[in-house]
Structure 1
Amino acid sequence: MATNLDWTWMFTSPQGRIERGRWWIGVIALLVVAAISTVVFGTDGLVAFIIAIALQLAGLMLHIKRCHDRDKSGWWCLLLLIPFVGFLWALIDLGLLEGTPGDNRFGPDPLARAEV
């Protein structure tokens, strides 16, 4: 995995693919930001609401790219709306299983790019 992360692309674009390692880094980063936000702004009010929406959208972009690495449409992320099942799906399919080796319909293999 390459050490340079494009944080903006990771959290704002649904395009491309992302390998497991970067996905985990992104998930952990979002959890840390959410925890800090909760401590600083609480869970009520407009600022907390806007931050929560922004974090949800950032997580969705991250998950879509990981689906793409597994050669699945981003629509699979709708499973996240199902309590417990969505969490288990994300943990296993996005967090543990390997991506599609080589290029697929969503772009080049991110692991091949990282080795260059």
Structure 2
Amino acid sequence: MNQHIQQFKADFFKALAHPMRIRILEVLSEGEKNVNELQSILGSEGSAVSQQLAVLRNKNVVHSVKEGTSVIYSLRDPLIKDLLSVTKQIFDNHLVDAISLLEDIRKEP
């Protein structure tokens, strides 16, 4: 595989490697939002949200447009929504495996 693609993937996943950034992307999957809306939905202070948005913006994961005094954020690529969905499915699969393992352990004498 091309080294540039591998580096892109590594950088991309580093940009996603924070729970608040994932939550921001989940919210933006539902539609564009400004910082105040994100703060309200996330229940977090503005500086924390702005800091995480800066990381996502610098890695080209989100897109921002200034409208008056507000900055509106959206997903740069709609496939990010699909990626989040696939990640949830992988989590569910791991959970099913863990539950099966626990059930097997409980059956042991």
TM-score, structure 2 normalization: 0.31
| Structure with greater Cα Rg | 2
With a CA cutoff of 8 Å and minimum separation of 6, indicate the structure with the bigger relative contact order: 1
More strand by share: 2
